[in-house]
Structure 1
Amino acid sequence: MKSTWFTFLLLGLGFGAVFGQAPPAQAPDPAALEARLKSQPGDLPTMVALGRAYLDAGRYDDAARVFEDVLALDYQNFQAHFGLGLALYRKGDLRGALFEFDQVTRLFPDRFEGWYNLAVAYADSGRWDEAAAAFQRAIALGEEQKLAPDVLRPAYLGLATAQRKLGKPDQAAQTLMMAAEKMGEDEEILYLIAENLSLAGKPKEAIPYLYKVLNKDRGNVAAVNLLADIFVGQGLVDRALRELDRSLEATQDPAIRANLLLKKAMLLKAIDPEKAAKLLEEASALDPRLWQAHYDLGSSWLRAGDPDRALRAFQKAYSVNPTEPKILVGLAAAYFQKQDYKQAYRYAQLAADSSEGAVKADALLIAGKSAYRLGRYAEARALLLRAVDLAPDRADAWLWLGLAAYALQDFDTAVPALERAVQLDPSPVAKLNLGAAYLAVKRFSDAEQILTQVVLEDPENAEAWYNLGWALNALGRESEAQRAWKAALDLGYEPARSLIKK
């Protein structure tokens, strides 16, 4: 395949660039080419060279203008179409770049680089079906023309990426296996085969490829992590831990060791939380820039009920990655435990504004709880309504929504919210608050039933006895009400004293 000019097209997708001749040792001077063009107006080779010089200099508008001028004189000029596509892409005109690369494939259907660049541009715009088709055409042409493996490699990787984006990891794995057969087994291709097989529900088939990677580089964090996950999925946690230990023994690189210790801590946190916390401390000391270690350490301290240490860990994570929503949620949770509700609200709102899904639900819940503690009940209700919309199975979100609505005497919201909380998690706290809501709307039989459950489960709950007394009294069961109030008073609940008859 002969060409006077190929250039690189990097579109940020991680699977390569168009091949080409090596650039000259010294880029041509646009001023000299401009002067030559003045003396030889309309000279196409000079115009093409000037367009390329503008591209090399980052003058994309000028490059696009010159290449368009060439096409106005010679629409069959491959280099002008290709250069215009590059210039338009680099100046952010993706639609224009797609048009030009499409023109290249129509006018020069046997040019590998036209199809490859069109595929990359489609992928960059999220048009994965069209990207896959263009990558397939590029690969077919490249194989026919016996292009070098390092030229075809990014096209195979691009096709596998498109197939995976289309929800076809099994096809992606097959594409990568073909690439490995044709161009040798390198670590990236082997790992991607394993990753796609795992995504396709074939983790056992992925294992041999991961060992091939680890035999080349025992410190490959992604490979050993995936291998550990597969073993955990098979119920072989101890084997997963041993694989991590093998990699730890084989490398002294602090950053790699920190990542491996982080993974080991994640596997151990449910089994041995104390050991997991020590591993996280070691990981964060080895690589202070590993925010995940600081974050997980903060989370472990939160679970242990130590918000001060949790806050310090989250603050270290925040200093490394101040925009990560999970860290912001961690800070909010630590401040909430410390009863600093203003700071908790602040960080929770920052997290809610920059996250989605479960993390956003967590942020909204903490923001709503904090607003409630600050006495801003209407704001709390609004935030918690958003939280339950995102996470309808979160009992704690429904409970706090019920509390906020109750404080506003919005019983139409409070009662169903608290009923949902009890349905999801029938804890004494949720039942106690539902009983109080039933009393407020004069559903005395329902209140008596739920509050009786509470005092049977938690006989020391003075407030439950007190509220049960009111429910029984409203139902005309005065002697039972007196006994309930007496039980509340015996447990130290002073409001019951005035209700007890002498």
Structure 2
Amino acid sequence: MDKIAKIALGAAFLGIVLVIISCAPQETAIQQPEQKKMTAEDSARIALEIKKYLSFGLEYYKNKQYNDAIRNFKKVLSMDPSNELAHKYLADSYLRHPDSTMIDSAFVLYSSAIKKFPNTAYFYSGYGYVLHKVARRYADLAEQESDSAKKEALQNKSGALIDSALVNFHKAVELDTGDYASMNALGTIYLSRGRLDSAMKWLGKSVEIDSNQVEIWDILAKIYVARGLNKEAARAYKHLHRLMPEESEYLLKYGQYLAKSGDLKNSLDILNEYINKNPNDYRGYQYLGLVIAFQKNYKDALRQLKKAEKLNPKSVKLMCDIASVYKDMKNYALARRYLAKAKKIDPKFGYIYIVEGDIVYQQAMDLVPESGELNMAAKCKLLTAYKIYKKALADPNWAGFAKSKMDYLKKYLPTREEIKAYEFMGNKCE
């Protein structure tokens, strides 16, 4: 086909196309219905609906009816997706729900709320609680796992989640310096890891904000005792006695730590007055004995402690206290005898293994020469003490303190190579 023919054919094709286009039926423009503008009345009605469902949700939440609370908070968010209060209580309802599978919804809500409300401390705190709760699940699974590799993997997962929880709790207190709940979370996590100083720091900040927290003062008192901070321990027990005057134990411990902090007169006044009012309560004699023992008057101390024992020979704590006094006297045989009594009463009581570990630790120190060099005999004793402290980990009330003692001993324990060489020489590393 020559060039002219091609041009003619092209022109003809173009003409056909133009005809088709010109003859095609014209579409009429679709008129979009005008979107109805929200009137002031509509806005007021929706605001009332939001207020109503929010009120219902909060009431259900308060009564721990979390299913109904969730339903109402969801209705609020369907009308107002940016309602911070609804986000907060919906996430918290999932977190507190008795159905453990709801934790997944809490996880999603808190993480999304952090993006939506990055400057609200509560959402970081809530996310921290979720992470900590999930971490405990992994820790429980690790306890049940027999395969060592799987057990370690579960423990590592739990540890990583707790690390993330700590980050979120720290962020919460950074945004809200009055968030004592997050401070408590930080303190208890650090305590569980044996980091007593960090625990003491955060729990101390918490009671500065709210001095009426019985549980936190109780934990702090134990930390102060473990750290040998007697004045602080006395202050903690004074607060506990103020908050719970019906609990005589707090008054007695207040008296005990007054003596340890140097105020012997007021200590003896408190304890003797208590004994006069309650002559049949073994605890008065128990704590008076401990105060006298602190003065290293062991004979008189044991006289009071034995009075207490006659009144209540089934007190596991009393048996441990008597053992501890014998330990201070370096009468290890009698100390162990009283620990044996304690184990018969309640073998799961963690303080038994704290005292027993302290006995072995003291025996190890007895083996250290004047030069201060830690020999293998002493190191092996420390290894035994470490293993005994480990038994206290099963008791949540004493686990943190046991962990702290174990962490302290780690750097002094013998290596496997040292143990092999020591035993090769005919010795035994307990």
TM-score normalised according to structure 1 size: 0.42
Larger Rg: 2
TM-score normalised according to structure 2 size: 0.48
**Larger relative contact order, structure 1 or 2 (CA cutoff 8 Å, min sep 6):** 2
